[in-house]
């Protein structure tokens, strides 16, 4: 089993990347879907139908399979290899697994929103979705810094950095919104 460890790890990383790509893009489609409701007919109906189709394909052909396969390979590494068993003893891995559970919570909330939009129930604004889109970004930053640094003191600085980064993202979004509103006037 140990001779296949790097292959398993590579597959895990590939599916983590495609999972995040799916999460980033699905929320972007949510933004477009929410904005399409304000378009005049027949443009509105055409766009919404197209966004529903694109979302459906992305969600069920890329995002869900990637989430499942990333998890399968992660469990394989953690529970069926010697190195994985050692990692489970390390505090940084417990924190990482906490972020993975948070990522699954984010994914499941996206699934709930996806189902609402498939039924044409638009409960959130495009502004909400633009902010919501940063959730996956924050989790990605946290996990990457945690996995690379692993040192207890460094990951604490990393978590503080993530909070600072999220504040900067919110400020950037507010600036973007003002510029966009000014250009539309």
Question: pLDDT by residue (tens digit) across 4-36?
Answer: 889 999 999 999 999 999 999 999 999 999 999
Q: What are phi and psi of 90, to 5 degrees?
A: -95, 135
pLDDT tens column, 59-71:
999 999 999 999 9
Q: Are 132 and 45 in contact (CB under 8 A)?
A: no
Is the predicted pLDDT of residue 105 greater than 90, yes or no? yes
The mean pLDDT of 73-94, rounded to a whole number, is 83
Which pLDDT value is given to residue 166? 77
Residue 93 clears pLDDT 70, i.e. is over it: yes
* This prediction's pTM: 0.84
Greatest CA separation for the chain: 63
Arithmetic mean of pLDDT over the chain: 89
Confirm or deny that 49 is annotated as ligand binding.
no
Whether pLDDT at 84 is above 80:
no
Confidence of residue 80 (pLDDT cuts 50, 70, 90): confident
Digit-coded pLDDT (tens) for 141-155: 888 888 887 765 566
CB atoms within 10 A of CB 39: 13
Residue 12 marked as a ligand binder? yes
């Amino acid at each position: 089993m140990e001779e296949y460890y790097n292959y398993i790890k590579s597959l895990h990383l590939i599916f983590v990347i495609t999972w995040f790509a799916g999460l980033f893009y699905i929320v972007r489609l949510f933004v477009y879907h929410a904005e399409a409701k304000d378009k005049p007919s027949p443009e509105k109906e055409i766009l919404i139908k197209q966004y529903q189709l694109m979302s459906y394909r992305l969600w069920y052909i890329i995002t869900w399979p990637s989430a499942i396969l990333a998890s399968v390979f992660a469990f394989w590494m953690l529970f069926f290899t010697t190195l994985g068993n050692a990692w489970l003893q390390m505090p940084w891995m417990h924190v990482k697994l906490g972020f993975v559970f948070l990522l699954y919570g984010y994914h499941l909330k996206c699934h709930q929103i996806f189902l609402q939009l498939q039924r044409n129930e638009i409960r959130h604004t495009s502004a909400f979705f633009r902010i919501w889109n940063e959730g996956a970004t924050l989790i990605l930053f946290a996990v990457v810094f945690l996995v690379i640094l692993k040192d207890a003191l460094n990951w604490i600085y990393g978590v503080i950095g993530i909070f600072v980064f999220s504040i900067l993202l919110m400020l950037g979004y507010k600036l973007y919104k003002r510029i966009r509103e000014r250009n539309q006037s």
